[in-house]
Amino acid sequence: MQIPIETETLPNGLRVTYSEDHVAPLVAVNLWYHVGSANEREGRTGFAHLFEHMLFQGSANVAANEHFELVQRAGGTLNGSTWLDRTNYFETVPSNQLAIALWLEADRMGRLLPAMTQQKLDTQRDVVKNERRWSVDNQPYGTWWEKLPALAFPSTHPYHHSLIGSMEHLSEASLDDVAEFFATWYTPDNAVLTIAGDFDPGEARALVRQYFGDIPRNPSPPARPDFSLPPRFGAALREVVEDDVQLPRVMVAMRIPPCGAEEWYAASVASAILGMRKGSRLYRRLVRELQVASDTSAYTFDLTKGADLLVVDATANAGITAARIEQAVHDELDAVALDGVTQPELDRALALIETDFVSSLQSASDRADTLSRFATYFGDPARVNTQPARYQRVTAAEVTAFVREWCRDTNRATLLYVPRENPANADDEEAA
């Protein structure tokens, strides 16, 4: 596999990646800003995600929601997302509509603030609050999004607080906060633009320079927060959450090396062996053999600063106690460490990882997103071409060593959801 890649950096610091592919008459525009919830200041949690919404509320030359209308009328699709380390915006449009996608992204990067109003902020603040209500507060197990990072990272760490933010902090966000956040982080020197798919490279470069070239960089970019951590927890951590759920669910997080580090690849393969689809260790043992779980999974958070997390989870079958499902997960982690990883397990995991990775690159949108990710986190979009070979160098002995070192009981943070014994407690908590 060899994905064609060309790069350039504009004088204002904007890094641009081009990847031509004329198989389909589509082109993807993908813009990553290196800012996420980890960059929020104290008392303003949820601001990065709120800002994802604000960027669709118009800019100097684009009316509110017109960004959506123009792309969709052109036959394209678009959206944005926020994570702890980054925020991204993306469009896929017919090849002849590249200019409109680039112009829309440039207009909001360079000229967002003149269009911001108190009414738009109030509207999007309410939208985000409702999103929090249905996806976190009133979603079974939904609070894991904030409880697990809060358990796994110290209170002063940038990854500790909630991505979606607290109701209180969202209510207190002001237009001045919007201006400050935008001026600090949404600048070309803190962004990566990727164009992938069917486009003319000369035309694309000219459009990028025309639309993005005059946007000023941040003259005084802030220092990044301190992400340093001890490599492991050093003790078992545990929190029990009584919630309005029908079945117990356990989540066990282990602190691991940051995404992209040499040891991280063994962690990624270990997560696939433990919980990637129905041939995985956890699924075979807990679902098929013991029949204590209805489903299991394992995955890494892919955090690139300080430390990452490897998380395994399992939801109990009806009639299985919380203590039983929790013990079953810990027992299986101990068993993998004791028995080691077999070559067939490694081969299966590597095949799944490579198949998923290569398959995703067939889509212009996903390819653009992967290139932006590698350029943002590692400064090297061409890493896409070496990723499969890097995984293939992982050995069964390395994965076994990783599990024995990093998945031991003193490096586990356990979040256990149990059905609420007294539903009246829910009303009391809501009133509080």
For residue range 114-164, what is the model confidence (pLDDT) as tens digits? Answer: 999 999 999 999 999 999 999 999 999 999 999 999 999 999 999 999 899
Looking only at the bridges linking them, the beta strands covering 413-419 and 249-256 are antiparallel
Separation CA 20–CA 296 (nearest Å): 39
Q: Average pLDDT in the 350-362 region?
A: 95
**pLDDT class of 41 with cuts at 50, 70, 90:** confident
Q: What is the pLDDT of residue 431?
A: 43
Q: Alpha-carbon distance 69 to 100, whole Å?
A: 12
| Mean pLDDT for the stretch of residues 206-228 | 95
Q: What is the pLDDT of residues 279-320, one digit of tens each?
A: 999 999 999 999 999 999 999 999 999 999 999 999 999 999
Q: pLDDT (tens digit, 9 = 90+) per residue, 232-267?
A: 999 999 999 999 999 999 999 999 999 999 999 999
Is 212 in contact with 188 (CB distance < 8 Å)?
yes
Position 51 scores a pLDDT of 87
Please give the pLDDT value at position 78.
97
How would you write the chain as a 3-class SS string? CCCCCEEEECCCCCEEEEEECCCCCEEEEEEEECCCHHHCCCCCCCHHHHHHHHCCCCECCECCCHHHHHHHHCCCEEEEEECCCCEEEEEEEEHHHHHHHHHHHHHHHHCCHHHCCHHHHHHHHHHHHHHHHHHHHCCCCCCHHHHHHHHHCCCCCCCCCCCCCCHHHHHHCCHHHHHHHHHHHCCHHHEEEEEEECCCHHHHHHHHHHHHCCCCCCCCCCCCCCCCCCCCCCCCEEEEEEECCCCCEEEEEEEECCCCCHHHHHHHHHHHHHHCCCCCHHHHHHHHHCCCEEEEEEEECCCCCCCEEEEEEEEECCCCCHHHHHHHHHHHHHHHHHHCCCHHHHHHHHHHHHHHHHHHCCCHHHHHHHHHHHHHHHCCHHHHHCHHHHHHCCCHHHHHHHHHHHCCHHHCEEEEEEECCCCHHHHHHHHC
Mean pLDDT across 207-233: 95
Whether residue 427 is predicted with pLDDT greater than 60 in this model: the reply is: no
> 179: Cβ–Cβ under 8 A, 6 or more apart, which residues?
113, 116
Question: How many other C-beta atoms are found inside a 10 Å radius of the C-beta of residue 286?
Answer: 27
- 195-208 average pLDDT score: 98
| pLDDT tens digits for range 1-25 | 799 999 999 999 999 999 999 999 9
State yes or no: pLDDT of 108 exceeds 50. yes
Rg of the chain taking only CA atoms, in angstroms:
23
Residue 82 clears pLDDT 60, i.e. is over it:
yes
Mean of per-residue pLDDT scores for the chain: 94
Query: Is residue 310 a contact partner of residue 298, using CB atoms and an 8 Å limit?
Result: yes
Comparing CA positions, the residue from 146, 142, 144, 148 lying closest to residue 161 is 146
pTM beyond 0.85: yes
pLDDT digits (tens, 9 = 90+) for 381-395: 999 999 999 999 999
Q: What pLDDT does residue 430 have?
A: 47
Please report the pLDDT score of residue 44 as a whole number.
84
